[in-house]
Structure 1
Amino acid sequence: MFRFVIVIFSMLILVGCQGPSDDEPLQGMVVNIVDGDTFDVNIQGMGDERVRPIMVDAPEICHQHDPPECDPEPYGEEATDFAAEVLLGETVYLEQDVSERDQYDRMLFYVYVEADQMFQEMLLKEGLAEVVVYEPDVRYEEEFYEIQEEAQEEERGMWGR
């Protein structure tokens, strides 16, 4: 009986070790672009979730539910088009910081298109978003500000004159 318990216990440990760890990013496919900084991802094992990339804010566009007098912000359409070009139909890898969701129930992630290509950095580099910090999600704050400053100095996107 003792051996049986040991064998069962060992099997449970091995099975538990084979699952994804908390350190592994989630993976999913981008199925819809809402705007430059909001999109829907079909996350493996979770279904479709609205995702908001952490620490960037792209200019706003007008949506169908907005009043007719809505004026999109400059570079809002460009940011949306960029998000569609880079993300739509692509597999993304999602890294969480501290917070899981924002006040609008969107999941918060650092979004990677490739292992070393973060979407937030791409947006900032093109001058199609600015850094916004909502503590406690500040893992890449310094790096993001450096990328934004470079875009400002080179007058890219919304930083152009």
Structure 2
Amino acid sequence: MPIAVLCPTHGPFESRMFRSKRGGTVQLLNNLEGCPRCGRLSPVIDGTYAFDERGIATALSAPAWSIDALRAIQEPLRLVATKLADPAVADDAAERIVERVVEMLEKRDAATAAAMRASTKGKPRSKVLAVVMAMLVAIGAVVDLHDAGEIAGDVGAAIADVFDDRKASSD
């Protein structure tokens, strides 16, 4: 996944500044990058990223608002997947069903909406369903990892509290 930058005018775009071919982990905080369309300085999505040897970044942590944005698109995608799972849905109807989600996604992320439109336009229902399911799996993985990280932090704090209490009572 590329590191995203969010132009207030043109929406998200792929960072051209933050790439790595060597692997490793990087934490990004309060970085700006110029939008390729208008040049406006735009915030790079804060977070901790791990790069593999191919330069692919995986978000290890991300701001809550980006997770909330993913959650906002999850339910409409689930509804679309449910409709597309019906074999009685014709191929042209499948394209129209997906187009509603694409239009909603366009407001948040024009590039992802364009990619979804390109990968579903003129395709049979089964292929459209596969694209929607792949998006649901990817979004679900990011949201689940974020939620697991938050829970792990809470569990870790609770365990530390227990051991601090035991230490204090044994002193």
* TM-score range normalised by the length of the shorter chain: under 0.3
Higher helix share: 2
TM-score of the pair, normalised by structure 1: 0.26
* Alignment TM-score, normalising by the size of structure 2: 0.25
Comparing both structures, which one devotes a greater share of its residues to strand? 1
Higher relative contact order (CA 8 A, sep 6+): 1
